[in-house]
């Protein structure tokens, strides 16, 4: 049943890509690392700093963002049109709460958010995007500046990655229990700590995208151990959050990079299949699993054939 569910999820993702192409038409493809679009957010930051940014898996996607110190979750489309906002409040206390980084969870249909003003280590919440109600999930393991500037929900193993502002380390937690699983340090091409981590985003397989503020640099490291893979691009800004979006400019997939200081986001082209917010890894099927699956299919086939056998005359 799990296998069927995962295949169905993959087919749905493929179907939505096809719908996106029909709705938006073809987009001229350049090369990975190219800037596809620069879009101002419709509600500028009153503090001069805006960090959190995310895209959901819909066609077309809703793009969510927050401004530093502001208790509102804003939404927009890929053209920069304002789609409204909700105030973010703590589910237990009813008090307003602000977030420095957010990440979409396709399974739960919520946003994971890391706080920007509740002290260190940062607190992580589940946010209902329709109401702004935020439910406490867990506290990150590693102390820092108390400003979540990187968070990523990984649908492949139901875990949450979180890092503090311009940190050198990333924590990984179990999404269901909040249990701390590990802390690792991404490294550069020479094996030294990468540092200045601001945005984090999971790619497919063993790939994690990491942006660095104030360098405007985005690199790939391994999820498994943080080892350097490749430099992706210099975005031209001070990256504060990253989001995967394969639908807004279909068939060209992009990563959105939120600039901290100019109220704009950049859509950066990536390779096809580089990231996908709704694609879960299909679990490996053992030999006995294949035997059982074959027997189930054979039994179903016999039942179907018997039910449709012509009546004797």
Concatenated DSSP letters of 194-229: ---EEEEEE-SSSEEEEEETTTTEEEEEETTT--EE
Whole-number pLDDT of residue 29 = 58
Whole-number pLDDT of residue 284 = 39
Whole-number pLDDT of residue 291 = 54
Number of domains in the chain: 1
Contact 115, 97 (CB under 8 A): yes
Report in angstroms the alpha-carbon separations of 53 from 44, 63, 67, 99, 200: 13, 7, 9, 10, 11
Q: Is residue 311 part of a domain?
A: no
Q: Is residue 93 part of a domain?
A: yes
CATH number for 110? 2.120.10.30
List, run by run, the mean pLDDT of 10-residue segments along the chain (313 residues).
Answer: 35 37 46 93 91 94 95 97 98 96 96 93 97 98 92 96 95 98 97 94 95 88 97 79 94 93 93 79 45 63 55 41
- Burial code of 232-241, b = ≥16 C-beta within 10 A, e = fewer? bbebebbbbb
Q: Rounded to whole angstroms, how far apart are CA atoms 48 and 133?
A: 25
Whole-number pLDDT of residue 17 = 39
Whole-number pLDDT of residue 86 = 98
Q: Is residue 309 part of a domain?
A: no
Q: Is residue 301 part of a domain?
A: no
Q: Is residue 305 part of a domain?
A: no
Q: Is residue 246 part of a domain?
A: yes
Q: Is residue 149 part of a domain?
A: yes
Bridge partners, 231 (sequence order): 219
The whole domain housing 15 covers 2-286
Q: Is residue 304 part of a domain?
A: no
């Amino acid at each position: 049943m799990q296998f069927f569910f995962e295949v169905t999820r993959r087919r749905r993702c493929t179907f939505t890509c096809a719908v996106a192409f029909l709705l938006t038409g073809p987009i001229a493809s350049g090369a990975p690392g190219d800037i596809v679009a620069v879009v101002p957010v419709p509600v500028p930051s009153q503090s001069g700093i805006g960090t959190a940014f995310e895209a959901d898996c819909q066609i077309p996607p809703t793009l969510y963002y927050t401004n530093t110190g502001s208790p509102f979750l804003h939404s927009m489309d890929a053209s920069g049109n304002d789609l409204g906002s909700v105030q973010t409040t703590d589910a237990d206390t009813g008090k307003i709460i602000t977030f420095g980084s957010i990440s979409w969870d396709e399974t739960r249909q919520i946003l994971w958010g890391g706080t920007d003003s509740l002290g260190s280590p940062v607190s992580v919440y589940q946010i209902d995007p329709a109401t702004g109600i935020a439910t406490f999930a867990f506290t990150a393991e590693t102390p820092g500046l108390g400003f979540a500037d990187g968070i990523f929900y990984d649908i492949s193993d139901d875990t949450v990655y979180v890092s503090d502002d311009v940190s050198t380390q990333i924590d990984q937690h179990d999404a269901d229990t909040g249990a701390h699983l590990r802390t690792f340090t991404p490294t550069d091409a020479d094996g030294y700590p990468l540092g200045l981590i601001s945005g984090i985003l999971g790619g497919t397989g063993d790939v994690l995208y990491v942006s660095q503020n104030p360098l405007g640099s985005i690199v790939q490291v391994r999820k498994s151990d943080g080892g350097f893979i490749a430099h992706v691009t210099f975005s031209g800004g001070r990256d504060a959050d990253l989001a995967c979006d394969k639908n807004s400019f279909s068939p060209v997939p992009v990563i959105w990079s939120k600039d901290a200081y100019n109220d704009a986001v950049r859509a950066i082209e990536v390779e096809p299949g580089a990231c996908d917010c709704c694609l879960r890894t299909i679990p490996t099927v053992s030999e006995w699993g294949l035997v059982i699956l074959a027997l189930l299919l054979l039994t179903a086939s016999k039942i179907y054939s018997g039910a449709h056998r012509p009546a004797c005359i």
